[in-house]
Amino acid sequence: MKENLKAIHYADGTPLIKGIAAVDTRYDTTTKYYFIYNDDTSYIDTYGLLYIWKAAVNGYSTEEDLNPSQIQGVCPDGWHLPSDSEWKELEMYLDMSSEEANDRDWRGTIEGGMLKEAGTTHWAFPNSGSTNETGFTALPSGIRTILGEYRYLGESGSFWTSTNHIATNNTHNPAYRRLHYEESRTWRYQGFHDYITYSRSVRCVKNE
Protein backbone atom coordinates (compact mmCIF):
# COMPACT_ATOMS: atom_id res chain seq x y z
CA MET A 1 0.00 0.00 0.00
CA LYS A 2 1.09 3.57 -0.66
CA GLU A 3 -0.61 4.97 2.45
CA ASN A 4 -1.26 3.99 6.05
CA LEU A 5 -4.29 1.86 6.78
CA LYS A 6 -7.49 3.52 8.03
CA ALA A 7 -9.68 0.44 8.54
CA ILE A 8 -12.03 0.39 11.53
CA HIS A 9 -13.60 -2.98 10.61
CA TYR A 10 -12.11 -6.32 9.68
CA ALA A 11 -12.89 -7.64 6.22
CA ASP A 12 -15.80 -9.70 7.59
CA GLY A 13 -17.40 -6.57 9.04
CA THR A 14 -16.37 -7.14 12.66
CA PRO A 15 -15.62 -3.74 14.19
CA LEU A 16 -12.37 -2.89 15.92
CA ILE A 17 -12.58 -1.10 19.26
CA LYS A 18 -12.02 2.65 19.13
CA GLY A 19 -9.60 3.70 21.84
CA ILE A 20 -8.83 7.11 23.28
CA ALA A 21 -5.69 8.46 24.91
CA ALA A 22 -7.01 7.73 28.40
CA VAL A 23 -7.14 3.98 27.74
CA ASP A 24 -4.34 2.20 29.61
CA THR A 25 -3.13 -0.76 27.50
CA ARG A 26 -0.22 -1.85 29.71
CA TYR A 27 -1.87 -5.11 30.75
CA ASP A 28 -4.39 -5.51 27.96
CA THR A 29 -2.92 -7.63 25.20
CA THR A 30 -6.21 -8.88 23.79
CA THR A 31 -8.55 -5.95 23.06
CA LYS A 32 -8.38 -5.04 19.38
CA TYR A 33 -7.97 -1.28 19.68
CA TYR A 34 -7.31 1.34 17.06
CA PHE A 35 -6.38 4.92 17.93
CA ILE A 36 -6.50 8.32 16.26
CA TYR A 37 -3.37 10.38 16.87
CA ASN A 38 -4.08 12.84 19.69
CA ASP A 39 -7.77 11.90 19.35
CA ASP A 40 -7.88 14.43 16.50
CA THR A 41 -9.78 13.18 13.44
CA SER A 42 -8.07 15.76 11.19
CA TYR A 43 -4.98 13.54 11.22
CA ILE A 44 -6.70 10.47 9.76
CA ASP A 45 -6.66 11.38 6.05
CA THR A 46 -2.91 11.99 6.01
CA TYR A 47 -1.55 9.64 8.67
CA GLY A 48 -4.12 6.86 8.91
CA LEU A 49 -4.79 5.08 12.20
CA LEU A 50 -2.60 3.52 14.87
CA TYR A 51 -3.27 -0.11 15.83
CA ILE A 52 -2.37 -2.18 18.83
CA TRP A 53 -0.59 -5.33 17.60
CA LYS A 54 -3.41 -7.76 18.45
CA ALA A 55 -5.73 -5.60 16.35
CA ALA A 56 -3.24 -5.58 13.47
CA VAL A 57 -3.04 -9.39 13.39
CA ASN A 58 -6.70 -9.90 14.41
CA GLY A 59 -5.62 -11.92 17.44
CA TYR A 60 -3.57 -14.41 15.44
CA SER A 61 -0.22 -15.15 17.05
CA THR A 62 2.56 -17.38 15.78
CA GLU A 63 6.35 -17.40 15.67
CA GLU A 64 6.27 -18.44 12.01
CA ASP A 65 7.97 -15.88 9.81
CA LEU A 66 6.54 -16.89 6.46
CA ASN A 67 6.97 -15.03 3.19
CA PRO A 68 4.24 -14.15 2.40
CA SER A 69 2.94 -14.07 5.95
CA GLN A 70 -0.51 -15.55 5.17
CA ILE A 71 -1.95 -13.37 7.97
CA GLN A 72 -4.69 -11.09 6.72
CA GLY A 73 -5.21 -9.39 10.06
CA VAL A 74 -6.77 -5.96 9.74
CA CYS A 75 -6.03 -5.81 6.01
CA PRO A 76 -8.83 -5.94 3.42
CA ASP A 77 -9.61 -9.02 1.36
CA GLY A 78 -6.84 -9.74 -1.12
CA TRP A 79 -4.18 -8.19 1.13
CA HIS A 80 -2.12 -9.32 4.13
CA LEU A 81 0.00 -7.95 6.96
CA PRO A 82 3.67 -8.33 5.97
CA SER A 83 5.99 -10.50 8.01
CA ASP A 84 9.45 -9.57 9.23
CA SER A 85 10.83 -11.64 6.32
CA GLU A 86 8.79 -9.65 3.81
CA TRP A 87 10.20 -6.40 5.16
CA LYS A 88 13.70 -7.86 4.91
CA GLU A 89 12.99 -8.85 1.30
CA LEU A 90 12.00 -5.26 0.56
CA GLU A 91 15.10 -3.89 2.27
CA MET A 92 17.40 -6.28 0.39
CA TYR A 93 15.67 -5.37 -2.88
CA LEU A 94 16.70 -1.80 -2.06
CA ASP A 95 20.31 -3.05 -1.78
CA MET A 96 20.68 -3.81 1.93
CA SER A 97 22.96 -6.80 2.52
CA SER A 98 21.41 -9.97 3.91
CA GLU A 99 23.72 -9.74 6.92
CA GLU A 100 22.47 -6.25 7.75
CA ALA A 101 18.86 -7.21 7.04
CA ASN A 102 19.08 -9.89 9.73
CA ASP A 103 20.59 -7.46 12.23
CA ARG A 104 18.66 -5.31 14.71
CA ASP A 105 18.34 -1.60 15.39
CA TRP A 106 19.53 0.81 12.65
CA ARG A 107 20.67 -1.05 9.54
CA GLY A 108 21.63 -0.34 5.96
CA THR A 109 22.48 3.02 4.43
CA ILE A 110 19.79 4.74 2.31
CA GLU A 111 16.91 2.24 2.32
CA GLY A 112 14.83 4.27 4.79
CA GLY A 113 15.26 7.41 2.71
CA MET A 114 14.02 5.54 -0.34
CA LEU A 115 10.82 4.73 1.57
CA LYS A 116 10.14 8.14 3.15
CA GLU A 117 8.08 10.88 1.58
CA ALA A 118 10.56 13.43 0.24
CA GLY A 119 10.85 16.91 1.67
CA THR A 120 9.59 18.47 4.88
CA THR A 121 5.88 18.98 4.26
CA HIS A 122 5.14 16.30 6.86
CA TRP A 123 8.60 15.22 8.04
CA ALA A 124 10.69 17.42 10.32
CA PHE A 125 13.89 18.91 8.93
CA PRO A 126 16.23 17.54 7.65
CA ASN A 127 14.33 14.35 6.71
CA SER A 128 17.68 12.72 5.97
CA GLY A 129 18.10 10.93 2.66
CA SER A 130 14.44 11.13 1.70
CA THR A 131 13.78 10.43 -1.97
CA ASN A 132 10.62 8.27 -1.95
CA GLU A 133 11.90 6.65 -5.13
CA THR A 134 9.99 3.49 -4.16
CA GLY A 135 6.63 5.31 -4.04
CA PHE A 136 6.09 3.92 -0.53
CA THR A 137 5.58 7.47 0.83
CA ALA A 138 6.25 6.63 4.47
CA LEU A 139 4.93 9.35 6.78
CA PRO A 140 5.89 10.30 10.35
CA SER A 141 2.62 9.16 11.91
CA GLY A 142 4.04 8.74 15.40
CA ILE A 143 2.98 6.17 17.98
CA ARG A 144 0.70 5.78 20.96
CA THR A 145 2.37 4.51 24.14
CA ILE A 146 0.97 2.04 26.65
CA LEU A 147 0.01 4.95 28.92
CA GLY A 148 -1.92 6.78 26.23
CA GLU A 149 0.70 9.33 25.22
CA TYR A 150 0.90 10.26 21.56
CA ARG A 151 4.48 10.88 20.45
CA TYR A 152 6.73 11.61 17.48
CA LEU A 153 4.27 12.94 14.91
CA GLY A 154 6.45 14.59 12.26
CA GLU A 155 9.55 12.82 13.54
CA SER A 156 9.05 9.07 13.24
CA GLY A 157 6.81 6.45 11.68
CA SER A 158 6.69 2.77 12.63
CA PHE A 159 4.98 -0.23 11.09
CA TRP A 160 3.88 -3.53 12.58
CA THR A 161 4.88 -6.86 11.10
CA SER A 162 2.95 -10.08 11.59
CA THR A 163 5.99 -11.80 13.11
CA ASN A 164 5.90 -12.55 16.82
CA HIS A 165 8.94 -13.63 18.82
CA ILE A 166 7.95 -15.52 21.98
CA ALA A 167 10.64 -15.20 24.65
CA THR A 168 11.61 -17.90 27.17
CA ASN A 169 9.37 -16.26 29.78
CA ASN A 170 6.45 -16.61 27.32
CA THR A 171 6.20 -12.89 26.61
CA HIS A 172 5.26 -11.73 23.13
CA ASN A 173 7.67 -9.55 21.19
CA PRO A 174 6.32 -8.59 17.75
CA ALA A 175 8.78 -7.19 15.23
CA TYR A 176 8.30 -3.77 13.68
CA ARG A 177 10.08 -1.24 11.45
CA ARG A 178 10.77 2.41 12.22
CA LEU A 179 11.84 5.36 10.09
CA HIS A 180 13.10 8.68 11.48
CA TYR A 181 13.58 12.25 10.27
CA GLU A 182 17.28 12.22 11.13
CA GLU A 183 17.98 8.80 9.60
CA SER A 184 18.19 7.39 6.09
CA ARG A 185 18.44 3.82 7.46
CA THR A 186 15.66 1.54 8.76
CA TRP A 187 15.23 0.30 12.32
CA ARG A 188 14.33 -3.34 12.94
CA TYR A 189 13.10 -4.33 16.35
CA GLN A 190 12.21 -7.70 17.76
CA GLY A 191 10.45 -6.06 20.60
CA PHE A 192 10.41 -5.60 24.27
CA HIS A 193 7.30 -7.12 25.79
CA ASP A 194 5.58 -3.83 26.68
CA TYR A 195 5.83 -2.80 23.04
CA ILE A 196 3.10 -5.29 22.12
CA THR A 197 0.58 -2.84 23.57
CA TYR A 198 1.96 0.24 21.84
CA SER A 199 0.03 1.35 18.76
CA ARG A 200 1.66 1.76 15.35
CA SER A 201 0.81 2.19 11.69
CA VAL A 202 -0.04 -0.66 9.32
CA ARG A 203 0.82 -1.14 5.65
CA CYS A 204 -0.65 -4.13 3.85
CA VAL A 205 0.81 -6.16 0.97
CA LYS A 206 -1.31 -7.34 -1.94
CA ASN A 207 -1.60 -11.11 -2.28
CA GLU A 208 0.01 -12.60 -5.35
pLDDT band at residue 167 under the 50/70/90 scheme: low
Mean pLDDT of the chain: 93
For 50, 66, 173, 174, the CA distances from 62, given in Å and listed in that order, are 22, 10, 11, 10
Q: What is the maximum alpha-carbon separation in the chain?
A: 44
- Round to whole Å and give the CA distance between 123 and 1: 19
The residue-averaged pLDDT of 100-127 equals: 97
What does pTM read for this prediction? 0.94
Instruction: Give the β-pairing of 205-206 and 156-166.
Output: unpaired
- Round to whole Å and give the CA distance between 123 and 153: 8
**In the prediction, which pLDDT does 168 show?**
53
Task: Please give the share of the chain, as a percent, with pLDDT higher than 70.
Answer: 94
Contact 26, 34 (CB under 8 A): no
Contact 95, 113 (CB under 8 A): no
Asked if pLDDT for residue 171 goes beyond 80, the answer is no
